[in-house]
Structures are given as structure tokens and as C-alpha cells.
């Protein structure tokens, strides 16, 4: 299996380390030709406006949309923003996944935090996942065919922080910044399912 990581900006290196640790072939994607032969793609955290602008500069928007017609794509944090259909701001988006996202929903960098999430879809669901939130977005609304994968409870409210729509997957936090590889394994299963 060969998994690409969009390597325009952000913490792509941490995803590559995690994937190699899981015994998967990897490739940094910077140009349209780098998508050839890949089985899935991860779009890392970073700064979604920058990732979007660089994707425009490198003529990647159309090739990424074409790739998405047949392959699994996972966006973490800024990557989740980049694959969303609606983010209430004018910035280049792939508009793949039927979710609307509020950027920087928890405030600024200093308001970053770690939260233990219980995620039923993961292996060993009773073991909490230590999720790292850095200037994180939240998933405000989900469309038809989108299922909630993880929620953060906040008093009486639940905030959606991970969702899946068929072969598209979004997490508003950074599984690549922990040693826990369960989200990466979950994505590799999605890729295998085709
Ligand atoms: N706040 C960033 C954005 O809006 C995302 C932060 C992250 O990826 N950690 O793009």
C-alpha cells in the first residue's frame, strides 16, 4: 500500500513517520504527478489558507479532486478544513466533504489543549485517545451520509471533532502528534475497503 501525504505546508513529516512505522510505503505530494499510483492521501495540519493557496499555485486543485473520486482522503485539522464544503470564509477549498467547519473555534494558539476522547470506531474503544487540539476547528454541521466518529462533550453540548463520509475522513485534532496509531490504522482500513 502506498499512501501520500500532501507536503505543501504543515506537519506532514509526522504523518510520514507514523505511516512508515505501520509498514506502509509513503510519498510526499507536492505536484500533480506525485498522486500517480497512490492508494490514499492524508492532508496534514498547518494553516489551511496557506495550504489552499499553495495548492492553487502548484495546480493541484483539479488533480486532487480527480484523485478524490476514487480514493480515500483524510484531513487532519487544517486538512479537514481544506476538504470541507463550507468554512464561511473566502479561501481555496477542495469542497469534497459535506461538512461545514468553524475555523479556530476554540480560540488562539494559547488555548490549545489535549482531551481524552472515547472513539467507538477505533480498536480498543474503551481506551481513550489523547487528542491534541491546536487552534482547532470544529465540525458545525454534517450533511447526509456523514457519520460522526468523535465528539467532545462540553457541558450539555457535544461538539463534533471527527466525521466520515464514505471515503472522506476528517479529524479536527492531530493524531500524528501522538504515539497512538489507532486513527492511522483506521484510515488504512478505509483505504483497503476502497
Ligand atoms: N487554525 C488552522 C487553520 O485554520 C488550523 C490549525 C491546525 O492545523 N493545527 O487553518
Q: What is the pLDDT of residues 116-130, one digit of tens each?
A: 999 999 999 999 999
Q: Pocket of ligand 1, candidates 14, 15, 42, 48: which has the most ligand atoms within 8 Å of its Cβ, to mutate?
A: 48
pLDDT of residue 116: 96
| pLDDT surpasses 80 at 99 | yes
- What would the mean pLDDT of 80-103 be, rounded to a whole number? 98
Q: How far is the CA of 144 from the centre of ligand 1 (A)?
A: 25
The residue with cell 482531551 is 115
Q: Could you read off the pLDDT of 161-192 as tens digits, one per residue? A: 999 999 999 999 999 999 999 999 999 999 99
| pLDDT surpasses 80 at 154 | no
What is the C-alpha to C-alpha distance for residues 9 and 55, in angstroms, rounded to an integer?
10
Confidence of residue 153 (pLDDT cuts 50, 70, 90): confident
Q: Is the CB of 184 under 6 A from ligand 1?
A: no
DSSP H helical ranges for the chain: 12-21, 48-57, 61-68, 78-83, 182-193
pLDDT of residue 155: 79
Round the average pLDDT of the chain to a whole number and report it: 96
Find, among 183, 179, 159, 185, the residue nearest to 23 by Cα.
Answer: 185
Q: Could you read off the pLDDT of 25-43 as tens digits, one per residue? A: 999 999 999 999 999 999 9
| pLDDT surpasses 80 at 140 | yes
Q: Which domains does the chain have, with CATH numbers?
A: 2-193 (3.40.50.880)
The residues annotated as belonging to the active site are 77, 174, 176
pLDDT of residue 92: 98
Prediction pTM value: 0.97
- What would the mean pLDDT of 105-111 be, rounded to a whole number? 84
Amino acid at each position: 500500500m502506498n499512501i501520500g501525504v500532501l507536503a505543501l505546508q504543515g506537519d506532514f513529516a509526522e504523518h510520514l513517520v507514523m505511516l512508515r512505522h505501520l509498514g506502509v510505503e509513503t510519498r510526499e505530494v507536492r505536484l500533480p504527478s506525485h498522486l500517480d499510483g497512490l492508494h490514499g492521501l492524508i492532508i496534514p495540519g498547518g494553516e489551511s489558507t496557506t495550504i489552499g493557496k499553495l495548492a492553487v499555485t502548484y495546480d493541484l486543485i483539479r488533480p486532487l479532486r480527480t484523485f478524490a473520486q476514487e480514493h480515500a482522503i483524510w484531513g487532519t485539522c487544517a486538512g479537514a478544513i481544506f476538504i470541507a464544503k463550507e468554512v464561511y470564509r473566502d479561501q481555496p477549498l477542495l469542497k469534497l466533504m459535506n461538512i461545514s467547519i468553524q475555523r479556530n473555534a476554540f480560540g488562539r494558539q494559547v488555548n490549545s489543549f489535549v482531551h481524552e476522547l472515547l472513539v467507538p470506531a477505533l480498536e480498543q474503544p474503551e481506551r481513550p485517545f489523547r487528542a491534541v487540539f491546536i487552534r482547532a476547528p470544529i465540525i458545525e454541521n454534517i450533511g447526509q451520509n456523514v457519520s460522526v466518529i468523535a465528539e467532545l462533550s462540553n457541558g450539555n453540548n457535544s461538539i463534533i471533532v471527527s466525521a466520515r463520509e464514505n471515503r472522506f475522513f476528517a479529524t479536527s485534532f492531530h493524531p500524528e502528534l501522538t504515539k497512538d496509531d489507532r486513527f492511522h490504522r483506521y484510515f488504512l482500513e478505509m483505504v483497503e475497503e476502497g
